[in-house]
Structure 1
């Protein structure tokens, strides 16, 4: 027991020392970083000052070359040097604004540079005006050399100060480095001593309770394995939750299949697989996606060809020579290695089957949970798609309804307005429709409306919009069409309706005719409700004029004019 107490004490000391080991470099490194930053700042000032002297020398060289040769191109280094000097002086003034000593030297240096620049300009102008001899006489007086020497002297003072500072910083850095090394070596020695003591106490503790230690090791291994399984399960749950959220936000089946493909590859990275869904005919299943290099040959198969669908539960095959192999996997290169088929069920209704192949075998619980999420997502998407269709399509005629017309017409008018294109809006209804309902019953009236819808679909372009406006009233939107073509298309529809021979219960329903009212964008209005009102006005005029005719709205008079009968 004493060894155990020593071991605990040793561990506490090691933890304390390790904490010190972690914190000590932090503080020393921070101090070194500050010294390095200060050193780099002094080094940059030193470099800028040397760059200033170099620019001055370049300018002096250019001036001398011009004096000797008289060539203007020798002045290029001088003018470039002017720019470099101004730029460097500006940087130095900014950097030294808090350094009183060096800032004072820089203030003395700047007028000398200006005086030197004035001297260069005087010599250059004298060379241009009076020639080489006059310029040489002025240079021989030595004033330019005195200016340059003075500038070098002032710059040298700054350089000396900067070099001294850099030397001091280098010494501090070396001292900190030595201190760090001493600290590191000391801590390492102490750590080694403590580790040696821990080994000694550990062996003593193991000697006292070896069997207990083996049991603890076994428990530790079990805990580690359990933690790995928990982490794996948490990852799988997270992926399944993300899959459910992504499928809930999906509005298209193609997008939904891409989401399933993405998450299946993450959940089953070592297995290939494919997803089959029932065809709308419900007599076959067709493949909608595959992942993991799956090369299944069967794009579709009958429901009886999969044991999972026939049994209504998961079907796992570990040994193809002993277990029942699904007929739809005959000829597959991966099926003999083992596979799992999981039926997709939503609200007790079969939707398809998920097939996972290859080694290692997948976790059946995970596969079934994944299948549930996929089935629920596909079922919800199918339901939303069905509801969307029901909300936009009239169930009796198969045409779009009033709601779809309102949304689409506004969008079509905006597009036509941008492109400056015409749009024809037509309202029509069945003449004397009440006669069909009263004489033959409402089913006969519904039959007339369905036949009218068929004729409308047959007589409009794919770009046109045919809708049931309400009751026996219908609407047509004809974008990008001339007035003559719109009238001709309306007349064609009217004549085709008059030729209908509809029978109900073995007896003819009699002649069928329609009246039409046409309004024009933008002449008769630029808003959807205005155009519909204009078309309705024209339709009313057609009814008033005797029915079975087309009337065109005239915006100037606010009424409709008869087009044909």
Structure 2
């Protein structure tokens, strides 16, 4: 007697079509999400470019003011030439900034206000310059209105700060929008997969019910029930593992150091794969070697402390590579000991990548029976490796951005912004404790002539070496900064005038004795002029101390260069 058809039979084809449509919808949503995220990232990059152009415009105006001041103080024709060049650089910087924000009317208005403030400030500098050309440097210095200059500069800084705040606000909005798109995409994909899976399960259940009419199918159904019980146990185990992976993902976002990331990953792998062992490798900056940064377990399979990309099939192929002991015709990685893995042990190599770039390798070895749950566990470990790679890349990026925000990339010293933030704090601390504080203003002698002779690349090499010489000549609590161009500033907390003179002379002597190696050529030596001012004798505010140290620096240059002068000492 033929089996009667299930009442759900007429709905099978529509259900199957619905599942296909859901999967198609998930695919379309994925393509849309990728396109949207790409566009969002492009706008984020544009915001960073605008912020950089604002910084360039500020530096150009600072350079113009510094050269104009130096020319008024010394009358040296070199500073006159540099001042005239810097004026043109201000216009170029503002033109580039205007081109970058032309699509944003409010920002364009702020840029014009910023440009107008710069023009007013340049006009004041031009007036003093013309006065000096006609009546001499003394007349220009007497005509200098520091209050007006400061007011003009504050107006320019206010406009620049408003633009920077607006760009940072846009950056936050664009990042938030990118996060919303990512969340929406994940929701659509998960919902689509769940619905299509539910339809597929319904179809399978309908077919199973129809095949229970005969005794043979009844016996098979009993066997299937037994297998179902085993499957449920596996599903339960897989659910626990996925919960563990979700917990790992949440904790990973809070890790702040590489050590925390590695320790969290080791603990998670051990919970997913009890008895597992392995190593974490990170690629060197040279991109030639992968060095071991941590290992765990009892070493079921021995792996080298360092390896070349060619030593691992996972790094060659850019995807996971599995080798099980006892199976023939397998490609074993060269970083594993010969003859491994042994029978009953499986080796798994997973490349750690972020944005398509390799940053390391995760090697895991475990008993083969522990990884016999099919590809699900391999997939979980693979997802862990993906999240681990992204977390390490984000950590490296955060560290790079933090360093860039505080350090000058050419010399490795702190930048001017860090100086402005830290100088006030150190001065207040010394004032409260009744301690002195000295400020050094350092400038490379004849740096323009060095650049003209050897080229800008050699000039950059020279500034990098001088930065290292200054860093080596100060204490850990001192603040060594690149003030701008070839000018440096060192804040020496708790150091009086005699001590500052000794420290400055040590730095001057070290620079004088050093030479620069560039493109196989030995350049130099060069010299430095240094001006010093000490709190509280020479001034009570950071601005006054910097101005006095700067004026003393130019006095040192006027008296012959390659010397150290203190504002309170007359040679």
Alignment counterpart, residue 367 of structure 1, candidates 378, 381, 392:
381
Match in the other structure for 1:352:
360
Report if the CA contact (8 A) 2:324-2:341 is conserved: no
The alpha carbon displacement at 1:441 in A equals 4.6
The alpha carbon displacement at 1:474 in A equals 0.4
Q: In 2, distance between residues paired with 1:458 and 1:495?
A: 12
Alignment counterpart, residue 485 of structure 2, candidates 471, 475, 479:
471
Name the SS for the 1:329 alignment partner: coil
Q: In 2, distance between residues paired with 1:531 and 1:342?
A: 57
1:403 matches 2:417? yes
Moved more, 489-498 or 434-443: 434-443
Match in the other structure for 1:307:
313
Change (3 A) 1:237 1:482: same
Q: In 1, distance between residues paired with 2:239 and 2:536?
A: 61
Superposition TM-score, scaled by structure 2 size: 0.52
Per-residue deviation, residues 388-438 of structure 1 (Å, max 9, x unmatched): 223333222233322333444455456656765543321111234344445
Change (3 A) 1:441 1:358: closer
Report if the CA contact (8 A) 2:325-2:341 is conserved: no
Query: Cα RMSD over matched residues?
Result: 3.9
Q: In 1, distance between residues paired with 2:264 and 2:432?
A: 37
Q: In 2, distance between residues paired with 1:344 and 1:550?
A: 53
Q: In 1, distance between residues paired with 2:483 and 2:507?
A: 17
Matches within 5 A, 1:48-67: none
Match in the other structure for 1:288:
293
Moved more, 340-349 or 319-328: 319-328
Task: Specify every segment of 5 or more residues in structure 1 that has no aligned partner in the other structure, as ranges.
Answer: 1-207, 553-559
Q: In 2, distance between residues paired with 1:351 and 1:511?
A: 40
Alignment counterpart, residue 319 of structure 1, candidates 316, 325, 348:
325
Q: In 2, distance between residues paired with 1:332 and 1:531?
A: 71
Per-residue deviation, residues 344-377 of structure 1 (Å, max 9, x unmatched): 2222322222222222343221121111111111
Match in the other structure for 1:253:
258
Q: In 1, distance between residues paired with 2:522 and 2:287?
A: 37
The alpha carbon displacement at 1:540 in A equals 4.3
Match in the other structure for 2:346:
338
**Greater Cα radius of gyration, structure 1 or 2:** 1
Alignment counterpart, residue 490 of structure 1, candidates 492, 504, 507:
504
Name the SS for the 2:568 alignment partner: strand
The alpha carbon displacement at 1:470 in A equals 0.9
Number of residue pairs matched?
350
Name the SS for the 1:327 alignment partner: coil
Q: In 1, distance between residues paired with 2:405 and 2:421?
A: 12
Match in the other structure for 2:125:
none
Name the SS for the 2:549 alignment partner: helix
Alignment counterpart, residue 335 of structure 2, candidates 305, 321, 328:
328
The answer to which structure, 1 or 2, has the higher relative contact order (CA under 8 A, 6+ apart) is 2
Task: Specify every segment of 5 or more residues in structure 2 that has no aligned partner in the other structure, as ranges.
Answer: 1-212, 372-376
Q: In 1, distance between residues paired with 2:306 and 2:521?
A: 46
Per-residue deviation, residues 99-148 of structure 1 (Å, max 9, x unmatched): xxxxxxxxxxxxxxxxxxxxxxxxxxxxxxxxxxxxxxxxxxxxxxxxxx
